Structure 1
Amino acid sequence: MAFNSKKRAFADAVLAGKSNRDAAIAAGYSAATASAAGSRLVKDKDVVAYLAQQRKKGATKRAATQKADPPAEQVAVTKAAVAAGFDLDSILTFSDPKEFLLAAMNDQSTEPKLRVDAAKALMPFMHAKPGEAGKKDAKAEAARKAASKFGALAPPLKLVNGK
């Protein structure tokens, strides 16, 4: 099974210090089966790899720099994006939404459903529907076609004597 948003939420809760049961409940699993789900998920190869990667990133970030706290509104946006499965480092490098969607669509580590959603959102920017052109565009296209049918003929060839 692929690494999905529930597994990511579980892993993020474990990284936050919650027990396996509490992390499973936080990820949206039933309280009745949370213990079993937590035990199963903590052994899942995708979750183990994600936990190792995040712990490694966290250690290098803490060692590199200590920053002041960002505004609460920015924290809420970034937490939502991380919970949705986006890499925080790559999120903050984009200022253009189209570039961000392209990167999300092409990112192999992003959940496949999110990649498909990004592709759907990008579709109008890349390919216009056949009927979306306006009346003026249609008239201009018709005039261009008519001009090519009845355009000026090429001048006749000149005969040059070899003298």
Structure 2
Amino acid sequence: MALTSKKRLFADAVLAGKSNKEAAVVAGYSVKTASAAGARLAKDKDVVLYLVAARVNGESKAPKGDASRGAHKPGVAFDLAALTNFRDPKAFLMAAMNDGAMEDRLRLDAAKALLPYTHQRKGEGGKKDALQEAAKRAASKFGAPPPAPRLAASGGKKL
């Protein structure tokens, strides 16, 4: 989805220093549901990308040694276009995790999201995997059965 006008208003209010609830009210959400809407919008991928890009652009304009630099690494260029050109979510998460210009918290979230795609949980697997594993264990315990004796007709005698 694209960044809607409500999402943009919310993100601009967050950048102005308002809490998620206050920003949701400014964006036009009901006061009763503003807390839930603010929490949901704070996790929205479009809003997060907009906030990161705005903070990085704000950092590049700030003088060196400014305290507003936060958790970003100095001297590393952030390329939002490079992060949005992925078709594979796994490749996107890998790039986000390895991007030195991103906030450490976002990099950690990307690593957490990537974890199930790279490492299988112990005991996790399908029925076929379990059956194959059981067959391997059973086959290793016993040798191959001897071939059954061939029954041959005995020289033309009828039985």
Same fold (TM over 0.5): no
Normalised by the length of structure 2, the TM-score is 0.44
The structure with the greater share of residues assigned to helix is 1
User: Looking at both structures, which has the greater relative contact order when contacts are Cα pairs under 8 Å and sequence separation is at least 6?
Assistant: 1
- Per the normalisation by structure 1, the TM-score is 0.43
Question: Highest Rg: 1 or 2?
Answer: 2
